[in-house]
A = this chain, B = another copy of it.
């Protein structure tokens, strides 16, 4: 009979310990030598379990300091898979579309969830618009994503945004600023459909520019 893998037991043990000791994200967990002692396993075996957990983004290790429980809201889930996703040379179009899907969903949430109050955020952007201050495209959208409260979606969006090419890291240009205003108004009035529609207009405008510029790498 094949023994169940030791390092998987260790993973469970560590999880139990974390729960029992009420270790919070960011807290330090016992050192490798200490854990190996208490769990009665060799240090290298213990490390196999720890490295697995680290790859999953559940813990974080810093040489000389120790091992810490990471905020598992930042799941590496997406990163881990992004290596697989990216290897098949997916068309930029899919990335663009998928990112847009997340953004529209966030806007819908922000508009419809009474508990999400973005007045301060919209105000600050309106002021920047009027004062001709620079605004990065991604900065605005990020605020929407954060405000929506879905951390997983935010994480995925953040990745997609990185693969969306330059346009998103650029400043909102002059005429483009006019496209931003109706979005802000609709958000302030919680007019879901109007917000989505005007956001899509803006997004379409950006994409058109992106096409014209031709693609770099």
Contacts and interface: CB of A to CB of B under 8 A. Distances in A.
A81 B155 contact: yes
A11 interface: yes
Interface in A22-39: none
Count identical subunits in the complex. 2
Nearest to A150: B94
A84 B155 CA distance: 9
Interface in A96-116: 97-98, 101-102, 105
Given A153-B94, A153-B97, A56 B72 contact: no
Interface string A66-101: 000000110111101101110010110011011001
Interface residues of A, number: 46
Nearest to A51: B48
B101 A85 contact: no
Chain A interface mostly helix, strand, loop or mixed? helix
A81 B58 CA distance: 8
Contacts of A58: 80-81, 84-85
A56 B163 CA distance: 14
Contact of A77 (B83, B150, B159): B159
Given A72-B84, A77-B159, 17 more contacts: A2-B62, A15-B83, A15-B84, A44-B47, A52-B52, A52-B54, A55-B56, A56-B80, A72-B85, A77-B80, A85-B156, A91-B151, A94-B152, A95-B152, A97-B153, A98-B105, A98-B152
